[in-house]
Structure 1
């Protein structure tokens, strides 16, 4: 056991040696911060905050990474050090990867016309971790974004490089449960409504603005008081994606709980009330889902505890 521990400690020391080394070449944003991209972002997000329009407009802080992205036609320029680190993990059997989370810090607003530069470093490599996916290491990169030489924000991106855990035989494996939603004090009322087969939308009692998902305050007037209205259940597919990978038995390709895992459609549904909700589109083959398709709300019981709102093709 001591010998095995020493091997792991030596390997982790090799990984730790990459901390602080550049992860990507210093870059320049493909475009200056600009009003058209801000407008497209706000339209896609349904964000009507007046701070993002007019002569004194700023860019939404959550757009921070958008100004650094290389685009579909260019591959980000990773450094040799970062490739070496990933190669070392691959060679040791940690050849699977999954993005786990990101963190952003906003230090100053970006405004139309700002020229963005950025650089990225390998901030940390964790010790060995055991997860449901398998045993591996979390690798965190930190990208500093600047405008006019001044630090505007920081973006941390974390991946898990892991050796996939061996899966039990299908005959021995327990039934996979669908992941549970995170319920907190801000959204508990929504999930209580779902349990009653009601889709509740928050309404600001100050200005009457509807909002979804549930938030502690109003984006339009800043008011903290609210009540709810029940959605009619009518809607249309505003946008959608088809999930192919990774396969997960708890998400099924058809309406039958016993079906094998496969592709399924996740839709951004625009409700008749004007707000949008992300949910599964069911009762229709995933490759027949289309933008603009009319859908109607229904509630599906996935197991003894879990009920979720989903949408079927058609109207009431």
Structure 2
């Protein structure tokens, strides 16, 4: 084994010691669950579910982590173990970090007035992994959230703490990022591969929804079918990406939030006009683009500005 490999193994053994250690004990949410924060969240997400309004309002389940955040001043209950773990990684050259994913489990809704208490555990530290970003370690924490002594939800959060890889000349044919396909959205991507834009429809209340979800966010029904969108829409909002640059993309370019004629919104590229000509209200039409790389064929929907509306 090389000296570098021995060093990595030694670091990995030191990191494994932190598995199972608490990162926060009896942490207290900065604020009780409250309607103003719920309103701000719903406005930011565009969520108009009536369950989040009025005297019987509940908090959106996906706000679970928001009630535990310490903000710039931090929160009570921190043990120092997590900071020590990150410090070891910093000393080993793993000075960069990226959040990779999170998982949440909901046991009961939070309601305005609930006081949130939480415990956070360092659940796992991976072996040394080599990624395109660089070599490092995945660290997973689990936060158990309680209200009135009752477990209301669990939040798992995973980061990659890594040493940035040395920059290499760009590949001749950069590969476009692949969408994350799972059991909840596989039908959408199957439709895209057939050049069809499919929207989920609740079979109970008829509400259309996008992105695809396992259940209706209007009535909670788990049964659904699909309708094929016309592909017509308008630019509801947009951003122009300048930085950071990604392989297979040439900034600046426009990314739009497109409102389809059926009423749902979808994020995708806006093409057909220069990035600085994109405007809210532009009429667009879906266009399916095919890319070939070493992983096979990739079909993606983009939205082209309708001729005469640019």
Unaligned runs of 5+ in 2: none
Aligned counterpart for 1:270 among listed residues 259, 277, 288: 259
Q: Is the 8 A contact 2:240 2:275 kept in 1?
A: no
**Aligned match of 1:203 in 201, 204, 229?**
201
The answer to whether the 8 Å contact 2:31/2:115 transfers is yes
Whether the 8 Å CA contact 1:121–1:141 is kept in 2: the answer is yes
What are the superposed Cα offsets for residues 90-114 of structure 1, whole Å, 9 maximum, x if unpaired? 2222222211111222233211111
SS at structure 2 position matched to 1:306: strand
Distance 1:85 1:243, change over 3 A: farther
Residue 308 in structure 1 maps to residue 300 in structure 2: yes
TM value normalised by structure 1: 0.78
Cα separation, partners in 2 of 1:45 and 1:227, compared to 1, 3 Å? same
The superposition leaves residues 177-226 of structure 1 with CA deviations (integer Å, 9 ceiling, x where unpaired) of 11223445654543344345443323345433222223455443426252
- CA gap of 1:134–1:69, structure 2 versus 1, over 3 A, is same
Q: Please report the RMSD computed on the Cα atoms of aligned residues, expressed in angstroms.
A: 3.3
Please give the residue correspondences for 1:122-201 in structure 2 after superposition, counting only pairs within 5 Å.
122-170=122-170, 173-183=171-181, 187-201=185-199
Helix, strand or coil at the partner of 1:41 = helix
CA contact (8 A) 2:129 2:136 kept: yes
TM-score, scaled relative to structure 2: 0.80
| Deviation, structure 1 residue 129 | 1.7
* Offset, 1:8: 3.2
Q: Deviations over 1:86-140 (max 9, x none)?
A: 2221222222221111122223321111122334343322221222322211112
- Matched residue, 2:228: 229
| In 1, Cα distance between equivalents of 2:10 and 2:183 | 45
1:75–1:243 CA distance, 2 compared to 1 (3 A): farther
Distance 1:124 1:187 in 2: 28
Q: 2:82 corresponds to which residue?
A: 82
Match in the other structure for 2:287: 299
Distance 2:158 2:200 in 1: 33
